[in-house]
A and B are shown apart, each in its own frame.
Chain A
Amino acid sequence: MKKYTLIISEKPDAANRIAVALDDEGKTTRETDNDVPFFAAKNGDKEIIVASALGHLYTVAGTKKGEWDYPVFDYQWAPRWMTEKGASKNRIWLKVLSKLAKNAEEFVDACDYDIEGSIIGYSILKYACGDKEKTAKRMKYSTLTREELRKSFTNLLPHLDFALIEAGLARHEVDWLYGINLSRALTLAAKSSGMYATLSAGRVQGPTLKYLEIREKNIQTFVPTPFWSITAKISIDDHIFDFEYEKKVIETKSETSAIAIACKVKEGQIVNIDVEEFQQKPPVPFDLGALQSEAYSLFKYTPMRTSKIAQHLYVNTLISYPRTSSQKLPPAIGYSTILRKLSKSTLYEKIAQKLLAQPTLKPNEGIKFDPAHPAIYPTGNLPERALDASEKNIYDLIVRRFFAVFGEPALKQRIKVSVSINQHLFFMMGYRTLKECWIEYYKPYVHSKDISLPLLFEGQKVAVKKINLKDNFTKPPSRYNPRSLLKKMEKEEIGTKATRAATIQTLYDRKYLEGGQNMTVTDLGFEVTEVLRNYCPSVVSSEMTRKLENEMEQIQLKQETKQNVLANTTKILKTVTLTLKQKQSEIGGQLGQKIKQIHLNRQSIGNCPKCQTGKLVIIRSKKTDKRFVGCTNFFEGKCSTSFPLPQTGTIKPLALPCKTCGYPVIKVLINTKQPWNLCLNPSCSAKEQKKQ
C-alpha cells in the first residue's frame, strides 16, 4: 500500500471539509473501517488520508482502580473508553486511527488551533499513532474555506505548539485534581451521614456558585425602602411631553407633597435648552463572549446554544472559528473579498456595495487579542442549504456586525430641555440621530430611541397639564441570567471561553441551581457553598482561581512550567483534603440534613392539611406491609394524620390540590386500568356527590 500523509482533524465533518478542500479536484472518497469514517484526497503528488477524533478521545484518570476515596494525586492520560461509561465507541475509533497511522509517512495535526484542539491532536498523535507528536506538523487556519485550508497545508507549521499543549495539559490535570478530590470529599461526607447524592465541586465551579450564592442571599434578605418621584405632563404645540423632576429620588413623603402642591399651577417656562452633538462609535467585532451575550439579549439563546450554533456555522464554512477571544480583524482575512462574496446575497447586496464604495475599509477593533484566531467574521460563503431559524439568526447577526464595524461613527444629538414650574425645575432628555452611518448596517439589532421635538426657545411659556406623584420602593438586585453570569465570570477571569458555558450547565446538573432566565440557588447549592466557604475557603476564592488561570497563561508564554503549577496545586489540595477529611462527619451532618430534606420534598405528596407544618409522605407499615399516606410530624409525636392508599399501582402526586376540599390529590396508575385522580380526603364532598 502506498504511503500517505495522515491528517488528524477534530470532528468527522471537519475532516470531510479538509479532504474536499485539499483534493486538487475538490472531491473526496469517504471510506469506513468498522463504521469509523475517514476521507481520501490527492494533493499534487501527495496521497492524503484525513481522519478525525470524536472530541476528546483521551482524558485524565486515576492510576489506582477500585478505590473510591480521597486524596488522589496519582493520575495518567488514558483512553476515555477505559474510564467513562458510554464511551465504548471510542475504543474502535482509536483502533482505526492506530491502524491508519501504521501506513502513514507524514503526520499533520489539523485540529482547531486552541487549547482543547491542540490536546485532542497531541494525545492522538502521541498515544494512538505512537509518539508521532514529536515529528508531526501543524495546520493553522481560522476558517474551513478551500482557499484558507489549501494555504494552510502549503505553509504547514514545522511542529505542534508545545507551549499551548503544556498549558492545556496543565489545565486538564489541575481541574481533574480539584474535581476528583472535592467531589469525593463532599459525596463521602454526605454518605457518612447515611445519605447518598452525587455532589461535585471544582476549581471554576466553586467561585461561580459563590457569586450566585452571594446574590441570592442579598435578594432573600432584601428590605425595600420607600421613595417618591414626580413627573409633569407638559403640553408644547399640542404635543404632550413627560418631564422629570430635577431630583429623581425624593426621600420623604412630606417633601413630595410640598413639591406637588407648589407645582399645581397652569403654566411653566422653558428656562434652558442644551443641545450637544456627539459621535457614537460602531461596535467592535464579535469574540465568543460578546456573541453569546448579544444572542442572549436579542434571541434569548443560552450561551451553550449560541456556541453550538456558531460551531455548526463554522463547520459549514459560513463563519470563522467561533471559540476566539479576539476583537481584532486583521487585513489578511480579505475585507473586500468577503464583502464582494456577501454582495451576491440579495439580503446583503446594498450594504456590501455601499461599504465597498468606501475609499478605505478599516474595522473598529476592540482591545482583546487572541494569538490563535481573529474575531468572528463571515467567510463570505453563502449558505448551501436552508438554515434553520436559529442558525439564520446567528449568521445574520454575525454578518451585520461585520458590516457595522466598518461603518463611520454615527452622529447624534442630545437635547436637554429644562422647564421651571413655580421655581421647581423639571427636565426632559431626548436624542436625535443626525447621521446613521454604522447604525444603518446593524439594523435590526440596534434601536435608536429618537424623539421628535417642535421648535423650542428659552423663555417659551408651556402648559402644565398634570403633576404625577409616584410611590416607589428600592428594588433587590436582579438574579443572574446566563448572560450576566457569563459576563461576571469573564470579568473575574475565571474559566475559559470554551468552558464557562459548560460550568454553568454542571451547576444545573448537580441541582445547585434552578430556573432558566432567573438563576436561583437551591438549598443544596447554599449548603455546598457554605461547606466550601467554611472548610476550604480557597476553593471558592476568585483570587485563587484567577491566580491559577494566570499561571496557566504563563505556561503558554513559556514563563512558567507545568510541573511548578501542578506542584503548587497538589500542595494546596493536600491541606484542603486534610481539613475535609478531619471534619468529614461534621460536614456530612450539615449536607445530610439538606439532602434528606430534598429527598423528602421529592417524595412529598403535599403539606399536611391538619397540622399544616408536616409533609405528607407514602409510608409502608412494617407490621402489615401495607402502604398509606402519613404526616412526617408523626415521628416527632406531633401529628397522627394518615390516609389509606390503593395497594397496587404507581402513585404520583399532583401539583394542584382538590378543588372541592383543598386536600392533596394523587394520580393512581394501574397497568390494566385507566389512570384516575384521587383526593386523599375520605370525606371529600365531591366523593359523596359521586356516590349519590
Chain B
Amino acid sequence: MNCKICIRPVKEKDYCSLHLKAYQNICEKFEAWNKATEIFWIDYLTNISKNSLTGEWAKEVAKHLIEDERRNVKEK
C-alpha cells in the first residue's frame, strides 16, 4: 500500500516513513502553538501550511489534514 501523499510504501498511519515523521512533528508542535496562542487545530494547520519555514513534507501533510478536516465537517 502506498502513502496517502506520495508513492512510497506505508510505514504507519497510512504515511510513508518521511511523511510519518512530518505528521508526528505536526502533532507534537501543536501543544506549543496552543499554549502560545490558544489556537484551534484547523487554524494551526492553516497557519503552518502557509509558513515559509515549514518543511515541504510537513506542508503536504498539513494540507492533507486540512482536507480531511473539511471532509469530516461536510459529512457531519
Q: Spell out A's residues near B (CB within 8 Å).
A: 217, 219-227, 251-253, 473-476, 526, 593
Contacts and interface: CB of A to CB of B under 8 A. Distances in A.
A225 B37 CA distance: 10
A476 B53 contact: yes
A227 B35 CA distance: 11
A251 B36 contact: yes
Nearest to B47: A226
B71 interface: no
Give the interface SS of chain B, mostly helix, strand, loop or mixed. helix
Contacts of B28: 223
Given A217-B21, A221-B22, A226 B54 contact: no
Most-contacted residue by chain B among A217, A221, A253 (CB, 10 A): A221
B36 A224 contact: no
A224 B7 contact: no
B36 A222 contact: no
Given A223-B26, A224-B53, A252 B35 contact: yes
A223 B36 contact: no
Interface in B19-74: 21-22, 25-26, 28-29, 32-33, 35-37, 48, 51, 53-58
B59 to A, nearest CB: 9
B18 interface: yes
Contacts of A220: 18, 22, 55-58
A249 to B, nearest CB: 11
Given A219-B55, A221-B57, A223-B48, A253 B37 contact: yes
Contact of B53 (A251, A253, A473): A473
Given A221-B25, A222-B25, A223-B26, A252 B36 contact: yes
A535 to B, nearest CB: 15
Q: Give the top 9 A-B pairs by smallest Cβ distance, nearest first.
A: A220-B55, A221-B22, A222-B55, A224-B53, A223-B29, A225-B32, A220-B57, A221-B21, A223-B25
A526 B58 CA distance: 17
Nearest to A228: B36
Given A251-B32, A475-B53, A476-B53, 14 more contacts: A217-B18, A220-B22, A220-B55, A220-B57, A221-B22, A223-B26, A223-B48, A223-B54, A223-B55, A225-B33, A226-B32, A226-B37, A227-B36, A473-B53
A220 B22 CA distance: 8
19 contacts: A219-B55, A220-B55, A220-B58, A221-B18, A221-B21, A221-B58, A222-B54, A222-B55, A223-B26, A223-B48, A223-B55, A225-B36, A226-B36, A251-B35, A252-B35, A252-B37, A253-B36, A475-B53, A476-B53
Nearest to B51: A224
Contacts of B36: 225-227, 251-253
A85 to B, nearest CB: 37
Q: Which residue of B18, B28, B36 has the most chain A CB atoms within 10 A of its CB atom? A: B36
Contacts of A217: 18, 21
A222 B58 contact: yes
Contacts of A526: 18
Contacts of A221: 18, 21-22, 25, 55, 57-58
A418 B63 CA distance: 46
A486 to B, nearest CB: 25
Nearest to A593: B7
A475 B33 CA distance: 15
B9 to A, nearest CB: 9
A141 to B, nearest CB: 52
Contacts of B32: 225-226, 251
Nearest to B20: A221
A378 to B, nearest CB: 45
A252 B34 CA distance: 9
B62 to A, nearest CB: 8
Contacts of B51: 224, 473
B35 A223 contact: no
Contacts of B26: 223
Contacts of B57: 220-221
From B25, B26, B55, residue with most partner A Cβ within 10 Å: B55
A526 B6 CA distance: 14
Nearest to A218: B55
B22 to A, nearest CB: 4
Nearest to A225: B32
A226 B28 CA distance: 14
Nearest to A252: B36
Contacts of A252: 35-37
A253 B39 CA distance: 11
A224 B22 CA distance: 12
Nearest to B27: A223
A224 B71 CA distance: 26
A590 to B, nearest CB: 9
A256 to B, nearest CB: 9
Nearest to A253: B37
A522 to B, nearest CB: 13
Contact of B54 (A224, A253, A593): A224
A224 B55 CA distance: 9
Contacts of B29: 223-225
A637 B33 CA distance: 44
Given A217-B21, A221-B22, A475-B53, A226 B7 contact: no
Contacts of A222: 25, 53-55, 58
Contacts of B48: 223-224
A591 to B, nearest CB: 13
Nearest to A475: B53
A224 B48 CA distance: 7
Among B7, B32, B33, residue most surrounded by chain A Cβ atoms (within 10 Å): B32
A369 B9 CA distance: 49
B29 to A, nearest CB: 4
A219 B56 CA distance: 8
Contact of B33 (A219, A226, A476, A593): A226
A593 B55 CA distance: 24
Nearest to A527: B8
A303 B50 CA distance: 37
A476 B37 contact: no
A221 B56 CA distance: 7
Contacts of B18: 217, 220-221, 526
A226 B26 CA distance: 13
Contact of B58 (A223, A225, A253, A475): A223
A425 B57 CA distance: 41
